[in-house]
Amino acid sequence: MKSSGIGGQAVIEGIMMKNQEQYAVAVRKPDQEIVVEVQNYQGIVKNKAVKNLPIVRGVLSFIDSLVLGMKTLTFSASFYEEEENSKPSKADKALNQLFKDKAEDVVMGATVCFSVVAAVALFMILPYFISNLLEPYIISTKLMAVIEGLIRIAIFIGYILLISCMKDIRRTFMYHGAEHKCINCIESGLPLTVENVRISSKQHKRCGTSFLLIVMVISMVFFFFIHTSNPVLRVVIRLLLIPVIAGVSYEFIRFAGNHDSLLVELLSKPGMWMQRLTTKEPDDQMIEVAIRAVDAVFDWKSWQVEQGHLSQEEADRMRAEEGFEFYE
Protein backbone atom coordinates (compact mmCIF):
# COMPACT_ATOMS: atom_id res chain seq x y z
CA MET A 1 0.00 0.00 0.00
CA LYS A 2 1.61 3.25 -1.19
CA SER A 3 2.12 5.92 1.45
CA SER A 4 0.26 9.17 0.85
CA GLY A 5 2.70 11.09 3.02
CA ILE A 6 0.00 12.65 5.20
CA GLY A 7 -0.13 12.22 8.95
CA GLY A 8 -1.79 13.74 11.94
CA GLN A 9 -2.94 13.43 15.49
CA ALA A 10 -6.08 13.59 17.57
CA VAL A 11 -6.82 16.77 19.51
CA ILE A 12 -9.67 17.72 21.82
CA GLU A 13 -12.85 16.87 19.91
CA GLY A 14 -11.00 17.03 16.64
CA ILE A 15 -8.20 16.05 14.29
CA MET A 16 -5.02 17.67 13.03
CA MET A 17 -3.85 16.54 9.59
CA LYS A 18 -0.48 17.54 8.14
CA ASN A 19 0.70 17.40 4.54
CA GLN A 20 4.30 18.52 4.07
CA GLU A 21 4.47 22.04 5.56
CA GLN A 22 0.72 22.66 5.70
CA TYR A 23 -1.58 21.46 8.42
CA ALA A 24 -5.28 21.72 9.22
CA VAL A 25 -7.09 21.40 12.55
CA ALA A 26 -10.76 20.46 12.43
CA VAL A 27 -12.67 20.71 15.71
CA ARG A 28 -16.32 20.06 16.49
CA LYS A 29 -17.39 22.91 18.74
CA PRO A 30 -19.90 22.50 21.60
CA ASP A 31 -22.64 23.82 19.28
CA GLN A 32 -21.74 20.96 16.85
CA GLU A 33 -20.32 23.30 14.20
CA ILE A 34 -17.06 22.06 12.66
CA VAL A 35 -14.39 24.76 12.54
CA VAL A 36 -11.28 24.25 10.37
CA GLU A 37 -8.05 26.22 10.65
CA VAL A 38 -5.32 25.84 8.00
CA GLN A 39 -1.77 27.07 8.59
CA ASN A 40 1.83 26.44 7.57
CA TYR A 41 4.49 25.01 9.85
CA GLN A 42 8.04 24.82 8.53
CA GLY A 43 9.59 23.30 11.65
CA ILE A 44 12.28 24.42 14.07
CA VAL A 45 14.95 23.94 11.37
CA LYS A 46 14.28 25.52 7.97
CA ASN A 47 17.27 24.11 6.07
CA LYS A 48 15.91 21.29 3.88
CA ALA A 49 19.31 19.62 3.49
CA VAL A 50 19.58 19.26 7.26
CA LYS A 51 15.95 18.19 7.59
CA ASN A 52 16.52 15.33 5.12
CA LEU A 53 19.61 13.87 6.82
CA PRO A 54 18.98 10.30 8.00
CA ILE A 55 18.70 9.96 11.80
CA VAL A 56 18.78 13.77 12.18
CA ARG A 57 15.42 14.10 10.44
CA GLY A 58 13.94 11.70 12.96
CA VAL A 59 15.03 13.85 15.90
CA LEU A 60 13.78 17.03 14.23
CA SER A 61 10.49 15.36 13.27
CA PHE A 62 9.96 14.25 16.87
CA ILE A 63 10.56 17.77 18.22
CA ASP A 64 8.35 19.31 15.53
CA SER A 65 5.55 16.87 16.34
CA LEU A 66 5.71 17.90 20.01
CA VAL A 67 5.62 21.62 19.20
CA LEU A 68 2.87 21.33 16.59
CA GLY A 69 0.94 18.89 18.74
CA MET A 70 0.95 21.27 21.71
CA LYS A 71 -0.06 24.17 19.47
CA THR A 72 -3.01 22.33 17.93
CA LEU A 73 -4.11 20.93 21.29
CA THR A 74 -4.20 24.46 22.68
CA PHE A 75 -6.26 25.59 19.69
CA SER A 76 -8.80 22.80 20.13
CA ALA A 77 -9.00 23.34 23.90
CA SER A 78 -9.85 27.02 23.39
CA PHE A 79 -13.37 26.06 22.28
CA TYR A 80 -14.01 24.15 25.49
CA GLU A 81 -12.72 26.57 28.09
CA GLU A 82 -15.34 27.53 30.61
CA GLU A 83 -16.60 31.07 30.32
CA GLU A 84 -15.43 32.05 33.81
CA ASN A 85 -11.91 30.92 32.92
CA SER A 86 -11.79 32.95 29.72
CA LYS A 87 -10.47 36.01 31.54
CA PRO A 88 -6.66 36.13 31.76
CA SER A 89 -5.22 35.16 35.15
CA LYS A 90 -2.55 37.13 37.04
CA ALA A 91 0.05 34.71 35.68
CA ASP A 92 -1.18 35.31 32.12
CA LYS A 93 -1.02 39.07 32.62
CA ALA A 94 2.51 38.83 34.05
CA LEU A 95 3.70 36.71 31.13
CA ASN A 96 2.13 39.09 28.62
CA GLN A 97 3.83 42.06 30.24
CA LEU A 98 7.19 40.29 30.40
CA PHE A 99 7.28 38.65 26.96
CA LYS A 100 4.57 40.65 25.12
CA ASP A 101 3.71 39.05 21.76
CA LYS A 102 6.17 36.18 22.46
CA ALA A 103 4.32 35.07 25.63
CA GLU A 104 2.45 32.23 23.89
CA ASP A 105 5.66 30.91 22.29
CA VAL A 106 7.45 30.99 25.64
CA VAL A 107 4.66 29.07 27.37
CA MET A 108 4.57 26.59 24.49
CA GLY A 109 8.32 26.06 24.64
CA ALA A 110 8.28 25.60 28.41
CA THR A 111 5.43 23.08 28.14
CA VAL A 112 7.23 21.07 25.46
CA CYS A 113 10.45 21.06 27.50
CA PHE A 114 8.59 19.90 30.61
CA SER A 115 6.85 17.16 28.61
CA VAL A 116 10.16 15.89 27.23
CA VAL A 117 11.82 15.90 30.66
CA ALA A 118 8.85 14.11 32.24
CA ALA A 119 8.80 11.47 29.47
CA VAL A 120 12.54 10.87 29.72
CA ALA A 121 12.31 10.54 33.51
CA LEU A 122 9.34 8.15 33.37
CA PHE A 123 10.27 5.95 30.42
CA MET A 124 14.10 6.08 30.35
CA ILE A 125 15.51 6.86 33.79
CA LEU A 126 12.92 5.23 36.08
CA PRO A 127 13.22 1.79 34.41
CA TYR A 128 17.00 1.98 34.88
CA PHE A 129 16.71 2.63 38.62
CA ILE A 130 14.06 -0.08 39.06
CA SER A 131 16.18 -2.64 37.22
CA ASN A 132 19.18 -1.53 39.29
CA LEU A 133 17.47 -2.97 42.37
CA LEU A 134 18.00 -6.43 40.85
CA GLU A 135 21.70 -5.89 40.14
CA PRO A 136 22.91 -7.67 43.33
CA TYR A 137 21.09 -10.82 42.17
CA ILE A 138 21.92 -10.78 38.43
CA ILE A 139 25.51 -11.01 37.22
CA SER A 140 24.92 -10.71 33.47
CA THR A 141 24.90 -7.09 32.25
CA LYS A 142 23.17 -8.16 29.06
CA LEU A 143 20.34 -9.78 31.00
CA MET A 144 20.05 -6.58 33.04
CA ALA A 145 19.66 -4.60 29.80
CA VAL A 146 16.84 -6.92 28.70
CA ILE A 147 15.11 -6.65 32.10
CA GLU A 148 15.40 -2.86 31.99
CA GLY A 149 13.86 -2.85 28.52
CA LEU A 150 10.97 -5.07 29.61
CA ILE A 151 10.32 -2.82 32.62
CA ARG A 152 10.31 0.19 30.28
CA ILE A 153 7.72 -1.45 28.01
CA ALA A 154 5.63 -2.50 31.02
CA ILE A 155 5.59 1.08 32.35
CA PHE A 156 4.56 2.35 28.91
CA ILE A 157 1.70 -0.15 28.60
CA GLY A 158 0.60 0.57 32.18
CA TYR A 159 0.61 4.30 31.46
CA ILE A 160 -1.57 3.82 28.35
CA LEU A 161 -4.00 1.58 30.25
CA LEU A 162 -4.21 4.09 33.11
CA ILE A 163 -4.97 7.16 30.98
CA SER A 164 -7.42 5.19 28.81
CA CYS A 165 -9.69 4.98 31.87
CA MET A 166 -10.33 8.72 31.54
CA LYS A 167 -13.44 9.65 29.56
CA ASP A 168 -11.79 12.52 27.65
CA ILE A 169 -8.83 10.31 26.70
CA ARG A 170 -11.16 7.59 25.42
CA ARG A 171 -12.80 10.13 23.12
CA THR A 172 -9.36 11.29 21.99
CA PHE A 173 -8.49 7.68 21.19
CA MET A 174 -11.68 7.50 19.10
CA TYR A 175 -10.57 10.54 17.12
CA HIS A 176 -7.15 8.86 16.81
CA GLY A 177 -8.94 5.92 15.22
CA ALA A 178 -10.75 8.28 12.83
CA GLU A 179 -7.42 9.78 11.77
CA HIS A 180 -5.97 6.36 10.93
CA LYS A 181 -9.12 5.23 9.18
CA CYS A 182 -9.08 8.27 6.87
CA ILE A 183 -5.45 7.69 5.89
CA ASN A 184 -6.02 3.97 5.35
CA CYS A 185 -9.13 4.71 3.30
CA ILE A 186 -7.19 7.00 0.96
CA GLU A 187 -4.15 4.71 0.69
CA SER A 188 -6.41 1.72 -0.02
CA GLY A 189 -7.76 3.55 -3.07
CA LEU A 190 -11.27 4.18 -1.73
CA PRO A 191 -13.09 7.51 -2.08
CA LEU A 192 -12.98 9.46 1.18
CA THR A 193 -16.56 9.08 2.40
CA VAL A 194 -17.97 8.32 5.84
CA GLU A 195 -19.05 4.86 4.67
CA ASN A 196 -15.62 3.95 3.28
CA VAL A 197 -13.74 5.39 6.26
CA ARG A 198 -15.97 3.41 8.63
CA ILE A 199 -14.89 0.07 7.11
CA SER A 200 -11.18 0.99 6.96
CA SER A 201 -8.62 -0.17 9.53
CA LYS A 202 -7.94 1.94 12.61
CA GLN A 203 -4.32 0.75 12.71
CA HIS A 204 -1.48 2.23 10.69
CA LYS A 205 2.25 1.43 10.53
CA ARG A 206 3.30 5.11 10.70
CA CYS A 207 1.50 5.74 13.99
CA GLY A 208 3.20 7.58 16.86
CA THR A 209 2.27 4.73 19.20
CA SER A 210 4.33 2.35 17.06
CA PHE A 211 7.17 4.89 17.06
CA LEU A 212 7.25 5.04 20.87
CA LEU A 213 7.23 1.26 21.17
CA ILE A 214 10.03 0.98 18.61
CA VAL A 215 12.00 3.56 20.62
CA MET A 216 11.81 1.26 23.63
CA VAL A 217 12.82 -1.82 21.65
CA ILE A 218 15.72 0.01 19.95
CA SER A 219 16.87 1.36 23.33
CA MET A 220 16.99 -2.22 24.63
CA VAL A 221 19.24 -3.18 21.70
CA PHE A 222 21.56 -0.19 22.28
CA PHE A 223 21.89 -0.79 26.00
CA PHE A 224 22.42 -4.51 25.39
CA PHE A 225 25.72 -3.74 23.64
CA ILE A 226 26.77 -0.54 25.45
CA HIS A 227 27.65 -0.94 29.09
CA THR A 228 29.81 0.69 31.75
CA SER A 229 30.36 -0.10 35.42
CA ASN A 230 30.06 3.56 36.45
CA PRO A 231 26.43 4.20 37.61
CA VAL A 232 26.56 7.93 36.83
CA LEU A 233 27.99 7.29 33.37
CA ARG A 234 25.17 4.79 32.71
CA VAL A 235 22.59 7.53 33.22
CA VAL A 236 24.59 9.99 31.11
CA ILE A 237 24.89 7.45 28.28
CA ARG A 238 21.13 6.85 28.35
CA LEU A 239 20.46 10.57 28.10
CA LEU A 240 22.99 11.12 25.30
CA LEU A 241 21.66 8.20 23.25
CA ILE A 242 18.04 9.38 23.31
CA PRO A 243 18.35 11.48 20.10
CA VAL A 244 20.15 8.62 18.31
CA ILE A 245 17.54 6.08 19.43
CA ALA A 246 14.73 8.40 18.33
CA GLY A 247 16.41 8.94 14.96
CA VAL A 248 16.91 5.22 14.30
CA SER A 249 13.33 4.47 15.38
CA TYR A 250 12.03 7.13 12.98
CA GLU A 251 13.96 5.56 10.09
CA PHE A 252 12.32 2.21 10.82
CA ILE A 253 8.81 3.70 10.99
CA ARG A 254 9.49 5.64 7.79
CA PHE A 255 10.72 2.51 6.02
CA ALA A 256 7.79 0.42 7.29
CA GLY A 257 5.30 3.03 6.12
CA ASN A 258 6.65 2.88 2.57
CA HIS A 259 7.27 -0.84 2.15
CA ASP A 260 5.15 -3.97 2.17
CA SER A 261 7.02 -7.18 2.92
CA LEU A 262 6.68 -10.12 5.25
CA LEU A 263 9.63 -8.93 7.37
CA VAL A 264 8.21 -5.40 7.71
CA GLU A 265 4.80 -6.82 8.60
CA LEU A 266 6.31 -9.01 11.31
CA LEU A 267 8.43 -6.20 12.78
CA SER A 268 5.42 -3.84 12.73
CA LYS A 269 3.12 -6.29 14.56
CA PRO A 270 3.99 -5.19 18.13
CA GLY A 271 3.32 -1.54 17.30
CA MET A 272 0.09 -2.42 15.51
CA TRP A 273 -0.97 -4.42 18.56
CA MET A 274 -0.24 -1.45 20.84
CA GLN A 275 -2.54 0.67 18.68
CA ARG A 276 -5.44 -1.45 19.89
CA LEU A 277 -4.98 0.42 23.16
CA THR A 278 -4.56 3.93 21.71
CA THR A 279 -7.17 3.81 18.93
CA LYS A 280 -10.88 3.17 19.34
CA GLU A 281 -13.70 2.90 16.82
CA PRO A 282 -14.99 6.44 16.08
CA ASP A 283 -18.60 7.44 15.47
CA ASP A 284 -19.73 9.00 12.18
CA GLN A 285 -19.52 12.55 13.57
CA MET A 286 -15.86 12.03 14.42
CA ILE A 287 -15.22 10.62 10.95
CA GLU A 288 -16.82 13.73 9.43
CA VAL A 289 -14.39 15.93 11.40
CA ALA A 290 -11.43 13.84 10.23
CA ILE A 291 -12.54 14.06 6.59
CA ARG A 292 -12.81 17.85 6.86
CA ALA A 293 -9.23 18.01 8.17
CA VAL A 294 -7.92 15.83 5.32
CA ASP A 295 -9.81 17.74 2.62
CA ALA A 296 -8.35 21.03 3.87
CA VAL A 297 -4.72 20.06 3.21
CA PHE A 298 -4.62 17.07 0.87
CA ASP A 299 -5.99 16.63 -2.65
CA TRP A 300 -6.61 12.90 -2.23
CA LYS A 301 -8.48 12.66 -5.54
CA SER A 302 -5.43 13.80 -7.55
CA TRP A 303 -3.23 11.48 -5.49
CA GLN A 304 -5.50 8.52 -6.21
CA VAL A 305 -5.49 9.42 -9.91
CA GLU A 306 -1.66 9.34 -9.84
CA GLN A 307 -1.74 5.94 -8.13
CA GLY A 308 -4.25 4.55 -10.62
CA HIS A 309 -7.04 4.12 -8.07
CA LEU A 310 -9.26 6.72 -9.78
CA SER A 311 -9.63 7.88 -13.35
CA GLN A 312 -9.42 11.59 -14.07
CA GLU A 313 -13.07 11.51 -15.15
CA GLU A 314 -14.15 9.99 -11.81
CA ALA A 315 -12.15 12.58 -9.90
CA ASP A 316 -13.68 15.44 -11.91
CA ARG A 317 -17.16 14.02 -11.37
CA MET A 318 -16.60 13.87 -7.59
CA ARG A 319 -15.41 17.47 -7.54
CA ALA A 320 -18.44 18.56 -9.53
CA GLU A 321 -20.80 16.74 -7.17
CA GLU A 322 -19.12 18.25 -4.13
CA GLY A 323 -19.38 21.69 -5.69
CA PHE A 324 -23.07 21.15 -6.37
CA GLU A 325 -23.71 20.09 -2.78
CA PHE A 326 -21.80 23.06 -1.48
CA TYR A 327 -23.80 25.63 -3.45
CA GLU A 328 -27.15 23.90 -3.13
pLDDT by residue (tens digit) across 119-153?
999 999 999 999 999 988 888 989 999 999 999 99
What's the whole-model pTM score? 0.87
239: three-class secondary structure by DSSP: helix
Task: State the average pLDDT over residues 281-299.
Answer: 96
| CA–CA distances in Å: residue 298 to residues 202, 210, 213, 248, 285 | 19, 24, 28, 28, 20
36: three-class secondary structure by DSSP: strand
Measure the CA–CA gap between 243 and 222, rounded to whole angstroms: 12
| CA–CA distances in Å: residue 308 to residues 5, 135, 298, 311, 320 | 17, 58, 17, 7, 20
Task: State the average pLDDT over residues 195-204.
Answer: 95
- What is the radius of gyration, based on Cα positions, of the chain? 22
pLDDT by residue (tens digit) across 219-254?
999 999 988 888 899 999 999 999 999 999 999 988
Q: Which residues pair with 266 in a beta bridge?
A: none
- What is the pLDDT, as a whole number, of residue 227? 81
pLDDT band at 306 (very low <50, low <70, confident <90, very high): very high
For 119-131, the DSSP string reads: HHIIIIIHHHHHH
- What is the pLDDT, as a whole number, of residue 327? 32
| pLDDT surpassing 70 at residue 88 | no
Percentage, residues of the chain above pLDDT 70 = 91
Task: State the average pLDDT over residues 273-297.
Answer: 96
- What is the pLDDT, as a whole number, of residue 90? 64
